[in-house]
Structure 1
C-alpha cells in the first residue's frame, strides 16, 4: 500500500493580520509569505469548505479584506 502523502507545510502567519488591508497588496503579501493559493471572495459567497493546506481565503468588500481564514 502506498504511503499517505504529507501535506505541504503552511506558512506561520496570522490571518487576522490581513484584515483591514487593501485586497491586492494583501494578496501579494500573502504569496510572498508562502501561501500557495489566495482566494478573494465577496461577502456571502457560496464556496466549497474542504480544507486545503497552503490556501488563504480573503472576504473582500469594497476592495478591503474584511475577513481572513486558512484552508
Structure 2
C-alpha cells in the first residue's frame, strides 16, 4: 500500500512521537520541526473540528502529552 502523502503546508513528522513528552519540550520540538501552530489542550476540551494545515494539537494531562494529532 502506498504511504499517505503529507499535505504541502505540514511538516513530515510523526504525531505519535510526541506522546509521553513533557508539554514544553514537545512544543519546542514541534516548532523546530516546522509546525506553524501548536495547540495544547486539557483532557476533554471542547474544540471545533475545522482542519488547519500546519497545526499540531496536544492533549496535555499533568504536564505530559497524552495524545497528539494534526489539524
TM-score (norm 1): 0.88
| Unmatched tracts of structure 1, length 5 or more | 1-6
Which 4+ residue blocks in structure 1 deviate beyond 3 angstroms?
none
| Unmatched tracts of structure 2, length 5 or more | 1-6
What's the counterpart of residue 4 of structure 1?
none
Supply the distance in 2 between the matched residues of 1:49 and 1:31 (Cα, whole angstroms): 22
Give the SS at the match of 1:16: helix
What's the counterpart of residue 58 of structure 2?
58
Aligned residue pair count? 65
Q: How does 1:15-30 map to 2 (within 5 A)?
A: 15-30=15-30
Q: Deviations over 1:29-67 (max 9, x none)?
A: 000000000000000000111000000000000000000
What's the counterpart of residue 14 of structure 2?
14
Supply the distance in 1 between the matched residues of 2:17 and 2:8 (Cα, whole angstroms): 22
What's the counterpart of residue 4 of structure 2?
none
Supply the distance in 1 between the matched residues of 2:67 and 2:16 (Cα, whole angstroms): 8
Give the RMSD, CA atoms, in angstroms: 1.2
